[in-house]
Amino acid sequence: MNAGTEVVVARTGVANLAAVVAALRRAGARPVLSDRAGDVRDAGAVVLPGVGSFAAGMRALVDTGLDLALRDRVRDGRPTLAICLGMQLLGLASAESPGVEGVGAVDARYARFAGEIRVPQIGWNAVVAPPEARILANGDAYFANSFRLDRAPDGWTAAWSGHGGSFVAALERGAVVACQFHPELSGAFGAGIVERWIAAARREVCAC
């Protein structure tokens, strides 16, 4: 997987893709949009972006079969980058849409921010990553979220942020990364995450 190699961006109908595509191109990748389950299942690297509601996002994934393709990818540790709602969709469920099951690739249930704080959280917030993180890092990122994960699932390295208490800002496990924030809108900090993810994906594919 060399610079300029294809990265499939899952077309779900619940994402603003222009900024994601531009960020991938700046990082030297060649993004291709697809809503075909086979493309997402077989690609060397996949991005799952998303904005909007959990129920609408899951409906789009189920209707196209992308839910099963993504579940297989993440469980197999194949290079995948999930962004904002995309991160939540990989989990088990969200309080935003009771009764709607997520992809189920990550042992995570999302709750609404509680307390006397502004919801949704929109704007810049600090991200703190542990020393063992390979792709995530410390910096300031752009968030737009009303729901959050308050614990790190077993087997994942977590970066943290704070809004009415600590919450998981991002997760990584090998070449799988899920960001609650928008790396494509987070300046040099976000660009660094995208570049390191692409480099990890390249190493993963070349090792096969």
pLDDT band for position 139 (50/70/90)?
Answer: very high
Given the candidates 3.40.1010.10, 3.90.1530.10, 3.40.50.880, 3.30.559.10, the CATH classification of the domain at 6-207 is 3.40.50.880
pLDDT confidence of residue 1: 42
The answer to whether 70 touches 10, Cβ cutoff 8 Å, is yes
Say whether pLDDT at 203 is over 90: no
pLDDT at 145 over 50: yes
Tell me the backbone φ, ψ of residue 67, rounded to 5 degrees. Answer: -60, -45
The mean per-residue pLDDT over the stretch 139-168 comes to 97
Angle at 194 between CA 28 and CA 70, to 5 degrees: 105
The residues that are catalytic are 84, 182, 184
pLDDT score recorded for residue 3: 47
For the chain, which residues make up each domain, given as ranges?
Answer: 6-207
Confidence of residue 204 (pLDDT cuts 50, 70, 90): confident
Three-class secondary structure of residue 35 per DSSP: coil
> Which CB contacts under 8 angstroms, 24+ apart, belong to 155-159?
156/106, 157/129, 157/130, 157/132, 157/133, 158/130, 159/127, 159/128, 159/129, 159/130, 159/133
Q: Is the peptide bond before 120 cis (omega within 30 degrees of 0)?
A: yes
- Tell me the mean pLDDT in the region 141-170: 97
Classify residue 199 by burial, with Cβ atoms within 10 Å: 0-12, 13-18, 19+: middle
- Please give the pLDDT value at position 208: 54
Q: Is 80 helix (H, G, I), strand (E, B) or coil?
A: strand
Q: Note whether 75 and 69 are within 8 A (CB).
A: no
Burial of 118: CB neighbours in 10 Å, binned 0-12, 13-18, 19+:
exposed
The token duo for 120 is: 């949704």
Distances (CA, A) of 32 to 84, 193, 202: 20, 20, 17
Q: Residue 126's pLDDT band (boundaries 50, 70, 90)?
A: very high
pLDDT of residue 2: 45
SS3 content of the chain, % helix, strand, coil (to 5): 30, 30, 40
At 5, the pLDDT band (50, 70, 90 cuts) reads confident
pLDDT digits 0-9 by tens, 50-84: 888 999 999 999 999 999 999 999 999 999 999 99
